[in-house]
Structures are given as structure tokens and as C-alpha cells.
Chain A
């Protein structure tokens, strides 16, 4: 299947299995606790522990900050389990300026938009929310443009 090989040079199976596990995690969270498992809110709610600025100390952030931190801890453990049993540890070769500049802009934008790849992408699409669908189309498009520009500028 030459077309499949061209579109997915590394194969499909691991992408599919990984995606199913992600879906099972978000599903288990919902079935057991009713919580919606996007990830980017964590960054604002966690800031409420260390900043007295009023925005960070809204009731909705204070009330969700503990479970979000536990959820994030689970993410690290899950990756460590994968590393231990299946894959192996590796370090990215992406430049520090890409990692820092990109992270800052992504963090600002995700919080302004109230969602990221998991919040709008997985939870929003699964809830059939039109604003989330538009957000996904917009951030995939802008990411494709910026990834191309970064490559032209000599980035990884």
C-alpha cells in the first residue's frame, strides 16, 4: 500500500493504540468522577497556589486545582511506565529557543482560548461543541504555518 506508506511512514498501529489509551483515560475520568479532562487549565489552577492575583484565585480554579495536579502526576507516571515496559528514554533535539518561545506562546494562547489539543481537541470534539471544532481547525492551521516558518529559519 504505497499511499499508506507515504502518509504514515512509521506505521499506524502505535498512533491508534496510543489514541485509544488517551480516550480511555479521559473516559475513565468521566465515568468515575464526571470530570472533563482537558490539560491546559492545570497551568492556571496551579498558579493559584503561588500567586495571590485575583484572576488565579477564582472559585472554579481553586476548586479544581487539587485534582488537576493529581491528574498531571498520573501523566508523568503513565509516561514512566511506558518508558519502563515498552519504550526507552530519549531527549528531544529541538532547540532551546523553540522549546521556550513556543511553550510561552502556546501557554498564553491555550489559556486565552480556554483549551488546547486535549481540551478543545478531545473533550470539545467529543462533546460536539462547535466553538471547539473551530478552535481545532484554527490551531492546526496556524501551527502548520508556524512550523513551516520555523523550519525556514533553521529550526528543527
Chain B
């Protein structure tokens, strides 16, 4: 990938990380208070982020034939499968135990929230085990 593209990826990540922090999603206590119906603010975060992204995904490909720096607009690959749904249920159980999802586990380190390094390492371990027990999909059907 071109260096200019990677620079844009970095800027996008910075906006994402800044937003996660501003919305206090890097605080597991806030996430857990949402999951226990004490503060519904997370719905605004998810709603606002999804809505802005929705406008972009739906409108931009109509006015631009390709992205500024690369050749094609990607498509989010989600398939209706047992893995998608069972995996979501398992993900939720873990998320409800720690109050940290994958993005904040990374971003939290930038705000000096060092205990999240435990979660970060654990997420890697979970992803490792998932990869070790999964079959490689046949070529042409990768996701």
C-alpha cells in the first residue's frame, strides 16, 4: 500500500481513538454501567458513529467512482452463518465480563490505562485459539 494511503489510515485511526476516548469508551466502568442499565450513553456513541458511517458508505460511492488514493471501495463482509451468530454471543459474554471491546483495549494504552494491556494480551490469546481450531476456508471463499 502506498505511503500516502498509510498516512490516511493513521489519521483515520487517530480520529477513531480520539473519539473512543472522548466518548469514555476506554473506561470499562462506563461500558459496564451501560450493560447494567445505569447509563444508556453508549447508545449515543454507537448511534452517532453508525449514522455518520452510514451516510458515508451509502452516499460517497454514488458521487465518487473510487476512493481518493486506492482503486476500489470495499464492502463489509458479514455472512449469515452459525459462526457469525454463535461468535457474537461468545463475544458478548466476554465483553460483559471485562467491559472492554477490541478497539478500546488498544486505544486505552494511549491514555495510560495500563491495566487494559492485560485485556489486549488476552484478546490476542483468544484470537490465537480461534485461529488454531478453525479450518482455512477454500480459496475464493475467503472473507
Which residues in A have some Cβ–Cβ distance to B below 8 Å? 7-12, 14-40, 42-44, 46-47, 51, 53-56, 58-60, 66-67, 70-83, 86-87, 89-94, 96, 98-132, 134-136, 138-151, 155-156
Q: Which of A38, A70, A109 contacts B6 (CB 8 A)?
A: A70
Task: Give the docked Cα–Cα distance between A46 and B106 (Å).
Answer: 13
- Residues in A with CB closer than 8 Å to B123 are 43, 103-104, 106-107, 110
Over the window 92-110 of chain B, the binary record of Cβ atoms lying under 8 Å from chain A Cβ atoms (1 yes, 0 no) is 1111111111110111111
Instruction: Report 27 cross-chain contacts, Cβ distance below 8 Å, ordered by A residue.
Output: A15-B41, A16-B44, A18-B24, A18-B25, A22-B49, A23-B49, A28-B15, A46-B124, A53-B131, A67-B1, A76-B106, A81-B110, A82-B17, A83-B110, A104-B123, A107-B126, A108-B127, A111-B127, A114-B143, A116-B103, A125-B50, A126-B51, A131-B80, A134-B88, A142-B88, A142-B93, A143-B96
Q: Which of B14, B54, B100, B130 contacts A99 (CB 8 A)?
A: B100
Cross-chain pair count, CB within 8 angstroms:
551
Known contacts being A21-B15, A67-B9, A70-B10, is A43 close to B102, with CB within 8 Å? yes
Which residues in B have some Cβ–Cβ distance to A below 8 Å? 1, 5-6, 8-30, 32, 35-42, 44-58, 60, 64, 66-81, 83-103, 105-116, 118-132, 134-137, 139, 142-143
